[in-house]
Chains A and B, each alone.
Chain A
Amino acid sequence: MTVGLPHLLTLSAMLFGIGLYGALSRKNAVHVMMSLELMANAVNLNLVAFSRFVTPEAMTGQFFAVFSMVVSAAEIGLGLGLVLAIYRRKRSVELDAMQELKG
């Protein structure tokens, strides 16, 4: 059996699922962000795979993946800045401690 697109997509889906699990279950804001990054990574894998198998010449998926990475990087930078800011006020980055706003 040759390794083809389905294998890659399956791998990506599993990584996405694991990331989703982390995003839902982790209690530390940084940890959640890391899980989200894992999901982003999975998506990128998806894109690159599709690019290679579906549009090998145009490489559209690769460009998509590049931009996606840029965005992820930007977001993680911004997010970590936010976490640091919160940490400075509350001395905690636990999500369960952030329930002041509700209703």
Chain B
Amino acid sequence: MSMGYVLLIPLLPALAFAVLAPMPRTVRTRLVPLAVGAVLGSLALSVAAFLAVWPGGHVGEPTWQGAVTIAHVGDRALSLGLALEPVSAIMLLVVAVVGAAVQVYSLGYMHREERIGWYYAALSLFTAAMLALVLSDNFLGLFMAWEVMGLCSYLLIGFWHEQEAPRLASIKAFLTTKVGDLGFMLALAVVYAEVGAFDFATVLHHDWSAGTATLVALLMLFGAMGKSAQFPLHVWLPDAMAGPTPASALIHAATMVAAGVFLVVRALPIFEASGVALTITLWVGLVTALLAGLLAMVQHDIKKVLAYSTISQLGFMFIALGAGGSTAALYHLVTHAYFKSLLFLGAGVIIHAAHTQDMREMGGLAKKLPVTSLAFASGSLALAGIVPFSGFWSKDEILTVLLHEHQYAAFGIALLAAFITAFYVARLWFRVFTAPTQQVGLHEGHRSMLAPMAVLAAITAVVGFFGPTLGEFLGHEIPWPALGTAAISTAAAVAGIAFGWWVYGRTTSVVNTQAIKQRFPHAYGVLTNKYYFDLTYGYFVVGGYTALARGLATFDGSIVDGVVNGAARLWRSLASVGWLFDGRVIDGAVNGAASAVRAAGARMRTLQTGSVRGYQTLVAGAVVLLVIWILVKGA
């Protein structure tokens, strides 16, 4: 059976973008179903592709591969190619499912937007890029798709660009991830210099020396940290919540932010060749998981809670990677993608209903939004890591890996993070759904919004049971959780939830955080200020650069222009000492040279007195000098 249709998987949404983007606004709006159809088509093809690989596929042995050479440089050829193998098949499924769910959901969520057509165009392009990314069989293609996703992220975050916040958030997101991308790009340069090719097979089977491997791995890790919002490059993700919620669900929760993890999964052999890089990955993950979790505890904006939660969960994935458990990381990636997108979609319904994102103004939504609350509960429990929801299984797998690798300190921290996770999940849940009602006239979301949520909730509820199957598929064993580990993690989760209930859920009145704030002023201050990352970056990096740029611009106008003409200036000052320097330092180029010449010319001109006798004397003087010179020369 020809597998050429795999090509269509990313191509369909891309075509949808190509059709929509150049159209006038009104036409675009009418073409929205086309985009949805395209992504549904991709979904269908993805399922087909998945079934073609599963069962029987082996990691590293593509079931189908297609490549096109885009560049010849000397005897080297650079190509873009797609390869279908287990990892990409699984990722395909994740991306296509979430993508389709979000697009369908957006029909309801965004239907009042004037520019919905543009929204769908960007979403389609993003889906195409993400699908291409997971299918890519080389680092170059991966990087290109990666960058295009960055663009889409930028476009979607800044969708409501008339407002200040989304505008700023979009540029912040783009630039911060671009910082990471620099690392990725340099990694590619090193890879190319070392290997001379980009395709996974060649690069990963290359005989890496530890030093080069470390360099490449760390550079790639840096790229991944940017994309996956790991400390200290995490600052963009919370702000990115200024974009439309479904877009956040797709991009900033389920797929794009996981691309960093995916990259490390792909490049893991290089990390392993390095060793040091793995350890660093682990600790990046640990720090992120813990610190982001702590931040999630103090946020009032429902989307920001989820955003920090995403960062924290991505941290878990890095932990797994750092411990060498790529399958565990992938597993958590998959489960997280489903439940976190579910949570975001739920949040979308809530926001639609409550017309606010501030949890302090919500409460008692469980009764008003029954379907949503059910779905949300499914997602929350998965996030908290409660059996049997998906998050439990994957998180447990990560903890198992840590134990297996004897990373006990890491295990402890991860456990703490899990506890915190459970706590903020509880905080959110109790505040939003069970706290006293503050608003009236709330209504449940539209069917097109609820249906995708239902699908995702169902997946979240059951996908955990497929862990061992997944492991088998990926060629690694994912055992059923050992009872001991499961008990510990469940205990942590339950404790977190219980603590959350104790703080937020047990009273029937609105909880006043003021008390906590007063009790722990410093700690609370640090958290609400997000560890001062934004302030530091804003002040030193952005402010510093702006000041530098301004300085250089002034410098350019004055000094450089001046220095280039230094000779002319010097000449000017030499040519006439008494000639007043006219103080125009700026832009001396032609002015400077010209006035120098003019000044010198004016000097020359003073010899031209108009007196014949003067001229004759000058002529005779020159002749006399000549005579003297010849006599001296002759002597």
- Where the two chains meet, the residues of A that have a C-beta atom closer than 8 Å to any C-beta of B are 20, 23-25, 27, 32, 95-96, 98-103
Complex interface: chain B residues within 8 A of A24 (CB): 613, 616-617, 620
Of chain A, the residue at the smallest CB distance from B613 is A95
Complex interface: chain A residues within 8 A of B613 (CB): 24-25, 27, 95-96
Q: A98 CA to B616 CA in the complex, in Å?
A: 14
Interface core residue of B605, B611, B613 (most chain A CB under 10 Å)? B613
Q: A27 CA to B609 CA in the complex, in Å?
A: 16
- In the complex where A24-B617, A103-B605 touch, is A95 in contact with B610 (Cβ < 8 A)? no
Q: Which of B609, B616, B617, B620 contacts A99 (CB 8 A)?
A: B609
Complex interface: chain A residues within 8 A of B617 (CB): 24
Chain B: minimal CB distance from A15 (Å): 16
Of chain B, the residue at the smallest CB distance from A95 is B612
Q: A103 CA to B604 CA in the complex, in Å?
A: 9
Of chain B, the residue at the smallest CB distance from A98 is B612
Of chain B, the residue at the smallest CB distance from A102 is B610
Complex interface: chain B residues within 8 A of A100 (CB): 610
Q: How many residues of B contact A (CB 8 A)?
A: 10
Of chain B, the residue at the smallest CB distance from A100 is B610
Is B536 part of the binding interface, using a Cβ–Cβ cutoff of 8 Å? no
**12 additional contacts (CB under 8 A) given A24-B613, A98-B610, A103-B608:** A20-B620, A23-B616, A27-B613, A32-B612, A95-B612, A96-B613, A99-B609, A99-B611, A100-B610, A101-B610, A102-B608, A102-B609
Chain B: minimal CB distance from A44 (Å): 20
Give 9 closest A-B pairs by Cβ, nearest first: A102-B610, A99-B610, A95-B612, A103-B605, A103-B608, A24-B616, A101-B610, A102-B608, A99-B611
CB distance A95 to B611 under 8 Å?
A: yes
Tell me how many residue pairs across A and B have CB atoms closer than 8 Å: 28
- Where the two chains meet, the residues of B that have a C-beta atom closer than 8 Å to any C-beta of A are 605, 608-613, 616-617, 620
Complex interface: chain B residues within 8 A of A96 (CB): 611, 613
Q: A32 CA to B613 CA in the complex, in Å?
A: 10
Complex interface: chain A residues within 8 A of B620 (CB): 20, 24
Some 16 contacts from A to B, beta carbons below 8 A apart, are: A20-B620, A24-B613, A24-B616, A25-B613, A27-B613, A32-B612, A95-B611, A95-B613, A96-B613, A98-B612, A99-B610, A99-B611, A102-B609, A102-B610, A102-B611, A103-B605
Q: A102 CA to B613 CA in the complex, in Å?
A: 13
Complex interface: chain B residues within 8 A of A101 (CB): 610
Complex interface: chain B residues within 8 A of A95 (CB): 611-613
Complex interface: chain B residues within 8 A of A23 (CB): 616
Complex interface: chain B residues within 8 A of A103 (CB): 605, 608, 610
Q: A95 CA to B609 CA in the complex, in Å?
A: 13
Of chain A, the residue at the smallest CB distance from B609 is A102
Q: A27 CA to B288 CA in the complex, in Å?
A: 99
Chain B: minimal CB distance from A36 (Å): 10
Complex interface: chain B residues within 8 A of A102 (CB): 608-611
Q: A51 CA to B611 CA in the complex, in Å?
A: 39
Complex interface: chain B residues within 8 A of A99 (CB): 609-611
Q: A48 CA to B612 CA in the complex, in Å?
A: 32
Of chain A, the residue at the smallest CB distance from B617 is A24
Chain A: minimal CB distance from B619 (Å): 9
Q: A5 CA to B482 CA in the complex, in Å?
A: 131
Complex interface: chain A residues within 8 A of B608 (CB): 102-103
Q: A96 CA to B615 CA in the complex, in Å?
A: 12
Q: A98 CA to B612 CA in the complex, in Å?
A: 8
Complex interface: chain A residues within 8 A of B605 (CB): 103
Q: A80 CA to B56 CA in the complex, in Å?
A: 120
Chain B: minimal CB distance from A39 (Å): 11
Chain A: minimal CB distance from B608 (Å): 5
Chain A: minimal CB distance from B623 (Å): 9
Q: A27 CA to B613 CA in the complex, in Å?
A: 8
Chain B: minimal CB distance from A22 (Å): 11
Of chain B, the residue at the smallest CB distance from A101 is B610
Of chain A, the residue at the smallest CB distance from B611 is A99
Q: A100 CA to B612 CA in the complex, in Å?
A: 11
Chain A: minimal CB distance from B306 (Å): 83
Complex interface: chain B residues within 8 A of A27 (CB): 613
Q: A95 CA to B616 CA in the complex, in Å?
A: 12
Q: A75 CA to B610 CA in the complex, in Å?
A: 23
Complex interface: chain A residues within 8 A of B609 (CB): 99, 102
Q: A20 CA to B617 CA in the complex, in Å?
A: 10
Chain A: minimal CB distance from B327 (Å): 91
Chain A: minimal CB distance from B336 (Å): 86
Of chain A, the residue at the smallest CB distance from B604 is A103
Q: A103 CA to B617 CA in the complex, in Å?
A: 17
Q: A25 CA to B620 CA in the complex, in Å?
A: 12
Of chain B, the residue at the smallest CB distance from A21 is B620
Q: A103 CA to B613 CA in the complex, in Å?
A: 15
Q: A95 CA to B611 CA in the complex, in Å?
A: 7
